[in-house]
Every structure is written in C-alpha cells, then in structure tokens.
Structure 1
C-alpha cells in the first residue's frame, strides 16, 4: 500500500521539481531554461512558486551564479532517491518492437500530403507494424511547432523557419509547384504559356484567407497580375472545384500529378519560376532517444523518398537541425 497524503500533492506542481533539479545542476536560470526546453521567464516564474512553497529563497544570486541555500541542499538530498526511483519506474522501457507494438502516433501534415502519403504509409505499416495506429492531423508551420511543444503531436511534415533549439528537423525534399486545369474548358497547350495562364481566373490555397500568394509576388516583379476568384485552406479542394470551374489552380507538383491523373485534369509546369517549398520532418527534442519515435521518423522518411520526384530530391538529407523557410501559399 502507498501511504501518502494526496491533498499535499494537489498543492504542488511536480514539474516544479524538474526546475529545482535543473537549477541545482546548472546554477543559472538561462542554462536551466535551455536544459528544460523552456523560456527563461517560465523558469523564473517556477522559481518564485518554489520559494513560496518551500518558505525559503532556495537559490541566491551571486557573482558565481545561482547558489543554493542550505535548505535547498538538504531538500536535494532527500529528493534525489525519490526522483531517481520515479524516473526508473516510469521511463525505463524496453526497445520498441514494431511487429508487436499497439502504440498510437500522431502525424501532422498538409491535407494534400495525406492524399499522396497516407496510402503508402499504411501499406508499409501493415507489413512492419500491423498493430500500430496513426492519427493524421492538419498543420501549418505555426501550428506544427505549437502542437509539438504541447505534446499533442509526435511528428510533422511541413516547411519551417528558424525556431527554438529543442525543435529538431530533418530535411526531406523540395516541393515544386505545378498548375492544373480541366482541358475541356481551359483551352491551353501544355506546357501552358504565360498568356494563357493569365487569361483565366485562379483558385488559391491560403491558410490566412489572403488573395495573394507566391505566384502573385513573382508576377508583380514582372509588372503582371492574375485574377484570383476563390481561396481555400485546403489544397485537396481545388481539383474538385476545377471539374466545374473554368479556371486554373497551382498545387505542389506531387499532388498535382496524383490528383490530376485521377480526375482527368491537365497538369503543367508554371510559366513563371516560383521558389520551391522546403519540406522537413519536424519533432520535439524530447523524442530524440525514443526508439518508437525513431522507427516512425525512419518510416516516414523512407516513404517520402519513394514518392518524391527526381527534381525534388536533395543532394544530402543532412542531420537534424533548425529548419528552413517558405510557406505553401500558391
């Protein structure tokens, strides 16, 4: 039987103990924050709460850093075996076996990625890990990082800019854009000319509802413009609208070829040069040594490399690092 007073634990956020041990080790709020993958204000706020709870300053600022008080050192001696035992009980796990695991992973990506990637992923999982389940979630650059930090997302495929040191990335490939249209109503040769491209109305994917994307920015440099009739947050909507709409849409090339072929739409390179989107695997550093997460990252990477066209492949996949730029407005 476990003999504790549960009411005492309701009064204490156990995460504060992690801040306490990090400060003991680092003797610096800044270094403790980095160790915990937290912001410095969050660590300072936690220290304030710890001081109130303990009734002691715990750490004193000196020329040599944050020095623990006698009370803090005594508390550390009593907490050490407790925390080490708790860690061993909760986090000592055996190696991940995909063949027998029933673990559930959450994977975030653009909706159009689900169309092209999900069938291949499920096919490989059926062979390698029949008991593993996958929850697919829509993300963009900002929401991916927020969900990874909150722990509600395991892994994401997205374009990402410079971010915090505890967000890991592994470059996948460059996604080049193409345009699609219904050849029965849009009378244009392939590859489409700039004149024909500008002669028809356009559909645009825009996560913020803007009617201007990267294509428009490139056109503006040449003192040209197109007429955007509709925006949507979903790439996968556009091909179906085009079956009843006399217009053009720009999509990531892999998706344009997949959906264009399935729906009888024409696919053409853009008549203007638009920078590609740099896609990466993105995850939180807390999963670096998780063998199940390592398996998932390897699986998704392998599938992506099978699907990417030759023009999108990088010369070297590189090592996990801070990501690259670009968004996916077209």
Structure 2
C-alpha cells in the first residue's frame, strides 16, 4: 500500500523518491509498463505518474514506446546502472535493519543452478525450509554464463550453485563438496565389463552434453574426450543433461558425467556406472553470492542452510 500511495501522490513537482526509481528499474528491465506494474503490484496509471515525474525531473523522455515495448533512451541507459546500485544498497540496508525471522518470513529466494543442480539441491533444501521457515518460497532460474554475475549483482538472483564459474572479485563463494567423474554405460554393453581402461574408452562412441549457454563443467569433459579419442569419437551432442542417459540406456554410447549426475539418473532402467579412465580432476561445487548481499541476514540464513545440508570437509 505504501508503494501505491507514493506513486499515486498528487504532488507531481516533488523530487523523485526511492519508489519512483523502483518503477524506472522495473520498466528498464522488463521493457513493458504492464509487466512492470504487475511486478510492483501497481496500476498502470500509477506507474505512468511515476514515469511522468521522472521525465519532468530530468527534462527529457527516459523511455520511448515502440513495437517491442518500452525502449530506454540514451539518458535512461546512462542512469540504469546507478539506479540499480542505489536500489541494491538501499534494499541491503533495509533488510539488515529489519533482520530475518525464518519462522515468520514469506521471502522468495531466487537460486540459479542447472537442471541437475536443482534435482540435487532442491528436494532437501525445500524439506528443510518447510520445517524451519514454512512461509519461505523458492524460484529456480537457469545458470546462464553471460547473465548470472549481473543477476547476482542487481539482486535478481540471491545465490548461484555450481562449479567452474569465473565470476568477478565482487562475487564471493564457499566450497561445498568435491565430486569425481564417472562413466555411464548400458547394462549388457558388449565390450565394457565392470571396468574400462583408456584404450577401451578411445574405441567407443560418446554422447556429450554440449551446454554452450550455461555455466557448467561439461565443456571440459567434451575437450578431454577429443584430446584422447579425437572429435570423431563424439557421435551425438545433446543440450540437456537429462537426455544423454536415455540415449546411453538404449545404445552402446558412453556418457561421462560427474558422480552426482550419475547417481541422479541411475534410476533409469538399463544403466550402470563404471570408473572414468579420463585424467579429469574432481570438481568442487560452490555456492556464490554478491558482496553487496553479504549484509542481508536472509541470504546469510540461506547460505547457512545450504552449508549445513551439503557442505563437506574438503581439507
């Protein structure tokens, strides 16, 4: 209600307030008055009043309506990073002052991870939260290589979970656990028994998960296969970790994956796990958060839950 009253106020000549800049950020990010109003819980006329106040204050249009929605002007593009920084700092301070009471919170946590990461992390995290913070909800978003760092920075994502992520110095991380690579083959494979050496690995055909748009370690697996067996050994590329195991269960292909991926898909009939002969080091799975969120007690609580549920002693 406070947001609605502030944006619908009659004093159109006053200087912009924090809530007007929230309207600017929502329009800039979503490119639509309708979507921004829905996101903020406002009517479109209320949002338009806020935009009019900003237009008068800066003396020029900040957005131009077009076929593709609300397009930001050059001035709006210059303002946007400063507005995002201001809102992030303000929200961090407000949350730090308010504290966090898990049992009474209705916070929605946004977590960025892969499909397999969601299968691994979310069941236990949701079950734990249901007991400690029954009003808390979760939103899992894709782990995108070009966007995750900025999403952490502007608060669109609270936490990222994964491995081999090259983030900037303002993104902090904590190692959770280490996991080796294994190979999935079908039951009854005519040439692979209980073990497989590198020579046998080279002779076989391989399926790889080529996840070009995501931050994942499987590109290293693909390169390692090419290094030891040549590119011709890869006869199938798929774009989901959940597709490859079904192919392996019905063919003589090999799928090289981390052990926790193999454990999650081993329930598919016809699969078995053998030791991986590739010289691949184990990966370290981490949780990542932005430095601007370090003072947020809710995100600190979430990190503590994940550490308690999944953290291992890696010394």
Sort the TM-score into its range (normalised by shorter chain): 0.5 to 0.7
Q: CA deviation at 1:186?
A: 4.9
| 2:288 is the alignment partner of 1:282 | yes
| 2:310 is the alignment partner of 1:304 | yes
CA distance in 2, matches of 1:256, 1:215: 14
Q: Judge which range, 150-159 or 87-96, deviates more.
A: 87-96
CA distance in 2, matches of 1:104, 1:215: 35
Deviations 1:58-106 (A, max 9, x none): xxxxxxxxxxxxxxxxxxxxxxxxxxxx989955643212122111101
Q: TM-score, normalising length from structure 2?
A: 0.65
| 2:195 is the alignment partner of 1:197 | no
Q: CA deviation at 1:184?
A: 2.6
CA contact (8 A) 2:211 2:219 kept: no
Residue 245 (structure 1) aligned to one of 251, 255, 258: 251
CA distance in 1, matches of 2:244, 2:226: 23
Q: CA deviation at 1:284?
A: 1.3
**Paired residue for 2:186?**
182
Deviations 1:36-77 (A, max 9, x none): xxxxxxxxxxxxxxxx969xxxxxxxxxxxxxxxxxxxxxxx
Query: Would the alpha carbon gap of residues 87 and 110 (structure 1) be closer, same or farther in structure 2, given more than 3 Å must change?
Result: closer
CA distance in 1, matches of 2:314, 2:99: 31
CA distance in 1, matches of 2:91, 2:154: 21
**Once superposed, what is the RMSD of the aligned Cα atoms?**
3.4
**Paired residue for 1:113?**
117
Q: CA deviation at 1:262?
A: 4.9
Q: Which runs of 5+ in 2 are unaligned?
A: 23-56, 60-89
**Paired residue for 1:158?**
162
Query: Which one has a bigger Cα radius of gyration?
Result: 1
CA distance in 2, matches of 1:245, 1:89: 56
Q: CA deviation at 1:175?
A: 2.7
CA distance in 1, matches of 2:92, 2:146: 35
CA contact (8 A) 1:159 1:280 kept: yes
SS in 2 for 1:99: helix
Q: CA deviation at 1:140?
A: 4.3
Q: CA deviation at 1:245?
A: 2.6
Q: Judge which range, 295-304 or 143-152, deviates more.
A: 143-152
CA distance in 1, matches of 2:107, 2:296: 13
SS in 2 for 1:229: strand
CA contact (8 A) 1:202 1:226 kept: no
SS in 2 for 1:208: coil
Residue 132 (structure 2) aligned to one of 105, 123, 128: 128
**Paired residue for 1:321?**
none
**Paired residue for 2:211?**
207
Q: Which runs of 5+ in 1 are unaligned?
A: 16-51, 55-85, 307-312, 316-330
Query: Would the alpha carbon gap of residues 177 and 6 (structure 1) be closer, same or farther in structure 2, given more than 3 Å must change?
Result: farther
CA contact (8 A) 1:100 1:129 kept: yes
CA distance in 2, matches of 1:7, 1:186: 80
| 2:299 is the alignment partner of 1:293 | yes
Q: Judge which range, 270-279 or 220-229, deviates more.
A: 220-229
Instruction: Report the count of equivalent residues.
Output: 240
SS in 2 for 1:181: strand
SS in 2 for 1:191: coil
Q: CA deviation at 1:122?
A: 1.7
CA contact (8 A) 2:198 2:278 kept: yes
Q: TM-score, normalising length from structure 1?
A: 0.62
Q: CA deviation at 1:154?
A: 0.7
Query: Would the alpha carbon gap of residues 314 and 248 (structure 1) be closer, same or farther in structure 2, given more than 3 Å must change?
Result: same
